[in-house]
């Protein structure tokens, strides 16, 4: 019943395995401190990252498809009046109460050059996934052409999740979807790898 309510169908096999590790696992989990911040609520790193994404959009959007060229860079989360309601709420894909750990299931659209920009501002400590590997995966030139500003916006939201989890001392584990999809779980070593990743993130 839980699985049928999930938005992301590709993550269902992962949910099934997580339930064997922690039967109380919750999906699309929200926290009071996890939200898209308005300009006066952003910490210095968040403001720097957003400014870099806006500048990248201004300089590079014309290198993409027609739809991406239509992104108005100066409006990417610049108007606080547009940051409200349900659009402001952020979630983690999964939360394991037993381990007090959040998990993000990163599909291919999360590995873009825009996301790579955000990592330039990350401190060298306090993260529970391999940031250097995520940077490498982001260098493959993927993009999402529709709607126009999505890649820059998604990159900022992912960075907010990383930084807010770090600030609130909640271990956030990011999993590469291809390594933990339905085909992958046909191999027993994938489950063992999942357990190991969780254990490492909580120690």
- pLDDT, averaged per 10 consecutive residues of the chain (203 residues), comes to 60 96 96 97 97 96 88 92 92 97 96 96 95 95 86 97 97 97 95 96 87
Query: What is the predicted pLDDT for the residue at 6?
Result: 63
Residue in the structure block whose two tokens are 């190991």: 196
Q: Per-domain residue ranges for the chain?
A: 40-180
Which ranges in the chain belong to alpha helices (H)?
Answer: 2-5, 12-21, 44-60, 66-69, 113-119, 131-137, 150-167, 188-201
pLDDT of residue 4: 40
Taking the whole predicted model, whether its pTM rises above 0.85 is answered as: yes
Helix (H/G/I), strand (E/B), else coil: 173:
strand
Contacts of the segment 37-45: beta carbons below 8 A, 24+ positions apart: 37/83, 37/160, 38/80, 38/83, 39/78, 39/80, 40/80, 43/163, 43/167, 45/121, 45/122, 45/163
Of 75, 73, 79, nearest in space to 39 by CA: 79
> What pLDDT, on a 0 to 100 scale, did the predictor assign at position 1?
34
């Amino acid at each position: 019943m839980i699985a049928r309510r999930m938005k992301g169908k590709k993550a269902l096999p992962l949910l099934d395995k997580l339930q064997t590790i922690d039967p109380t696992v919750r999906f699309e989990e929200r926290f009071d401190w996890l939200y898209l911040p308005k300009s006066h609520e952003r910490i210095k790193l968040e403001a720097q990252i957003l400014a870099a994404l806006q500048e990248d959009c201004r300089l590079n959007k014309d290198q993409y498809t027609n739809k991406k060229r239509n992104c108005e860079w100066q409006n990417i989360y610049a108007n606080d009046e547009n940051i409200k309601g349900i659009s402001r709420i952020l979630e983690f894909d999964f939360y394991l109460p037993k381990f007090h750990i959040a998990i993000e299931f990163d599909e291919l659209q999360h590995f873009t050059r825009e996301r790579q920009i955000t990592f330039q501002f990350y401190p060298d400590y306090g993260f529970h996934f391999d940031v250097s590997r995520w940077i490498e995966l982001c260098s493959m030139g993927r993009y999402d052409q529709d709607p126009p500003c999505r890649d820059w916006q998604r990159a900022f939201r992912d960075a907010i999740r990383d930084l807010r989890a770090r600030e609130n001392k909640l271990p956030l584990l990011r999993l590469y979807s291809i390594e933990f999809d339905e085909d992958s779980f046909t191999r027993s070593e994938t489950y063992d790898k999942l357990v190991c990743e969780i254990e490492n993130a909580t120690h």
